[in-house]
A and B are shown apart, each in its own frame.
Chain A
Amino acid sequence: MSMYMEGILTQMGVNILMAYSAYIILATGQLSLGNAGFMAIGAFCSGYFTVRLGMPLPIALIIAAFTSSAVGIALGIPVLRLHGFFLVLGTLGFGETVRAFFINFEPTGGAYGMRGLFGTTFEMVLITVFVVTVGLWGIEKSRIGRAFDAIASDEYAAQGIGINIRAIKVMAFGIGAFIAGLAGGLSAHHLLYIEPGNFSFLVSAMAVLFVILGGMQTFWGAMLGAIIFSLLPEMLRFMDEWRLSVYGAALIILMILRPNGLLSRIFLRGLVVRLKR
């Protein structure tokens, strides 16, 4: 595999993780447009541990992901009572606040950014994506997954059958932030340098967009969306300066053609039946 392909696939893996982090929150009938904030926390935390404290990357990644997760839980609680656009704007505000925080936070370089990060390999990203995918698959099949479904389809009914809605919702933020933290750490050590400007609102929005385009009923949809839309900008390189215009147009057109995403559960079931035949 060429180093170009390796680079593309590494960033694709990071995007898949970001899509997962958006998906898990969406799966509980909530949403977050602030996952770039978790990504930033994962990136700067892991960077601080590896560069300043000399920790090995895998350990730094895990600590950073837990830190991000803790912040996610802390965010999950106050936003519990928000719905609809309040939730959109609240999480968006959180993400931007985190970015603005790191601009002023000197231990990780402030606006100058942070150098000396390295160590993300394609294999490492592959393993992380695999483990997280298995984890999500496990969650989807478990009681927690059914609780997610119940909450997403009817919160009151879910409460009626004894599901602790608050705990599940906050947990979703915790898991989402954990995954985004991993993505941030991996991305930082792939790009070899990070600055707060890398974690803008657009990064959060793209994560959610991957899920919506891929199909939000199953995490396979999130994965598919992330795969297609990480490859597209690279495939469009032949368009030269029109590359990103075409990319934007492609997103809009696909949204019109398949407003509910590419994959649905019914479709997946149909696919399984076909393959078994």
Chain B
Amino acid sequence: MLAQQLANGLLLGSTYALIALGLTLVLGVFDKLNIAHGDVFMFGAFAGVAAASFGAPLILAVIAGLVTSAAINVLVERTCFYPLRNAHFLAPMLSTIAFGILLQNVATQIWGSDPSRYPNIEAVSQYEVGGILLSSIHVIILVISFSVMLSVDIVIYRTKLGRALRATAIDPEVAGLLGVNTKNVVLVTFLVAGALAGIAGVLTAVVYSQITPLIGIRLGLIGMVAMVIGGLGNLRGAMIGGILIGLVEVLNDAYLDASYRDLIVFSLFFGFIVLKPAGLFPQPSGNRS
């Protein structure tokens, strides 16, 4: 049973990793926390479900979610961050909370508060590998999640765009002097972070089958937990942090009681910040205070 539970945890954790990745990207490059990230995720999930209910195949549904979430995340930047760039650092963050409230209620108006379901997910084949039961859909999800994580990693650490991003993260002024268009970098960051949330949203809808407008609240918080445990601002750390939290949750539910889950996850979160604020993988290039 343990092997199967570890596989379950990996699957859950891969979604958390995608959410944490988007949060970390914005925080790392731009030094801003987007609390509506979970709700951007939710909107992407609904867009994917809507596309699928019109008969779109999985890949198109994922693209629908990706595009929607990316667009909304840019909207978040334009309404919550850009106009408040000179205000107290809490102001844009709190503005994103208001944006989250707006997204939740608009989603309720569009798609309803009753759970929506991703259609046609029964046509899956099952594989048994060394006593672990995996369905084709799980394999697809894992492949998509990990290839997305890998490509983000490559873009950030191996390409020119990645260098521009990292340069902006370290010092926007110097990056600007070196010819980096920091305004564009910020937009690209939000676009990519939103796209990641959208992918995660659609994949969650596919695997766990039902979504509601309030699903993003907890998942956004969990994304933050993963981000902190992985090391604030560290992309690879965030991915590993997400997977670790997935494992912790699954093992808790498997061997303890679900009512302890939040207590364990959030105590871990609080404990990390107070005792080991740098997380498991301290940010190497660090501009963090």
Chain A residues with a Cβ under 8 A of chain B: 26, 31, 78-79, 82-86, 88-90, 92-94, 96-97, 99-101, 103-104, 110-111, 200-202, 205-206, 208-209, 212, 216, 241-242, 244-245, 247-249, 251-252, 255-256, 259-260
Complex contact A245–B263 (CB within 8 A):
no
B97 contact from A104, A209, A244, Cβ within 8 A: A209
Complex contact A256–B98 (CB within 8 A):
no
Interface-located stretch among B2-10, B162-170, B200-208, B267-275: B267-275
CB distance from A162 to the nearest CB of B (A): 25
A90 contact from B93, B95, B270, Cβ within 8 A: B270
Sample (21) of A-B pairs whose CB atoms are under 8 Å apart: A31-B90, A85-B27, A93-B269, A94-B270, A96-B269, A97-B269, A97-B270, A99-B262, A104-B263, A110-B259, A200-B217, A201-B221, A202-B101, A205-B35, A208-B90, A245-B105, A248-B104, A251-B95, A255-B84, A255-B95, A260-B87
A96 contact from B83, B106, B262, Cβ within 8 A: B262
Complex contact A82–B101 (CB within 8 A):
no
**Given the complex, which residues of A lie within 8 Å of B33, measured CB to CB?**
85, 88
Chain B residues with a Cβ under 8 A of chain A: 27, 33, 35, 79-80, 83-84, 86-91, 93-95, 97-106, 108-109, 217, 221, 224-225, 228, 232, 259-260, 262-263, 266-267, 269-270, 273-274, 277, 288-289
CB distance from A22 to the nearest CB of B (A): 10
CB distance from B271 to the nearest CB of A (A): 8
**Given the complex, which residues of B lie within 8 Å of A200, measured CB to CB?**
217
> How many contacts between A and B, using CB within 8 angstroms?
132
CA distance A86 to B233 in the complex (A): 11
CA distance A110 to B35 in the complex (A): 28
Given A93-B270, A101-B263, A255-B98, the answer on whether A248 and B224 have CB atoms closer than 8 Å is no
